[in-house]
Amino acid sequence: MEISVPILLLGLAAAGVALGWWLLIQTEGVYLGPRVVRWLYDRSAHEYDEIKQFDDESDDRNLGEPLAERLAGNPDAWLLDVGTGTARLPLALFRHLDFKGRAVGLDSSREMLGVAAAKTVFFAESLDLIEGDGRALPFASGSCAAVTCVEALEFFPSPRQTLGEMARVLRPGGTLVVSNRRGFDRWTFPGRGYSAAAFERLLSEVGLCEIVTQRWLTYYDLIWARKPD
């Protein structure tokens, strides 16, 4: 059976569109390298929150409140948010007055950090925003009371290396909060999508314990873990 040239060209065009959507939209450039990822986030920084449409009430309930309870009353406690973007997690934490410590938001996108700075101006004395790479966190081992990475891990050049770095800077007894793609969506991230069981094993391998996976968003589980004393 012969395939006509117009049909063949149409099929190739459709395949190209699908590939472009997967590379640039669904996986946000991660398979094209960190420079492309950074460029895409820089380009969309000022529309990012509108695109994502975060639910502040859900973030308060699932992120801000439980973290504030764990860190309550300790002015020396500080939290590191890796891949902070527009400071979604620090804002969820600062909305709870029980938190008396500091937060540091790290991201590779300068434009995203600029938006984060504008959104968090009232908390500027308690929040540091720094440009950096999750593969080599610029902090001493055991220095953070809590480390978080929400909806970001799969976009780092090496998720395993980033998890190892987050575990390194976490102090003994400290809390790690991280998200993991779930359901069909994780299959669109080959080599970066983990089943719940595989992700829990990975956290164990980097030295964490008391790992609890909970259903969170449509495409994400939320995982809590602790670094042994």
pLDDT in tens, 163-173: 999 999 999 99
In a shared domain, residues 79 and 122: yes
Note the pLDDT of residue 20.
81
Average pLDDT, rounded, for the chain: 91
Residue 40 lies in a domain: no
pLDDT category of residue 8 using cuts at 50, 70 and 90: low
Residue 101: inside a domain: yes
Does 38 reside within a domain?
no
Is the residue at 41 inside a domain? no
149 and 69 housed in the same domain: yes
Residue 107 contacts residue 84 (beta carbons within 8 Å): yes
CA Rg value for the chain: 19
pTM metric for this prediction:
0.92
- Digit-coded pLDDT (tens) for 216-225: 999 999 999 9
The whole-number pLDDT of residue 132 equals 93
Give the tens place of pLDDT for each residue, 75-101: 888 999 999 999 999 999 999 888 888
Same domain, 183 and 90: yes
The amino acid occupying position 203 is L
Q: Which two tokens stand for residue 195?
A: 């089943």
221 domain-assigned:
yes
Q: Is residue 42 part of a domain?
A: no
- 104 by DSSP, 3-state: which? strand
Whether 55 and 142 map to the same domain: the answer is yes
Are residues 85 and 17 part of one domain? Answer: no
**Are residue 66 and residue 25 in the same domain, yes or no?**
no
Quick one: tokens of 196? Answer: 């719940």
Which position has the higher pLDDT, 99 or 147? 147
Find the domain containing 221 and state its range.
Answer: 50-226
Count how many domains the chain has.
2
Dist. CA 4–CA 172, nearest whole Å = 66
Q: Is the pLDDT of residue 29 over 80?
A: yes
| Structural contact between residues 87 and 119, judged by C-beta atoms closer than 8 angstroms | yes
Q: What percent of the chain has pLDDT over 90?
A: 73
Say if residue 1's pLDDT is above 50: no
| 160 — pLDDT class (breaks 50, 70, 90) | very high
What CATH number does the domain containing 180 carry? 3.40.50.150
What contacts 50, CB < 8 A, 6 or more positions away?
none
C-alpha closest to that of 86 among 56, 107, 103: 107
* 188 neighbors 27 (Cβ within 8 angstroms): yes
Q: What's the rounded mean pLDDT across residues 148-169?
A: 95
| 162 contact partners, CB below 8 Å, separation of at least 6 | 82, 134, 135, 149, 153, 156
| Predicted confidence (pLDDT) per residue in 58-69, tens digit | 999 999 999 999
Residues 8, 116 within the same domain:
no
pLDDT for position 2? 56
CB 117 within 8 A of CB 139: no
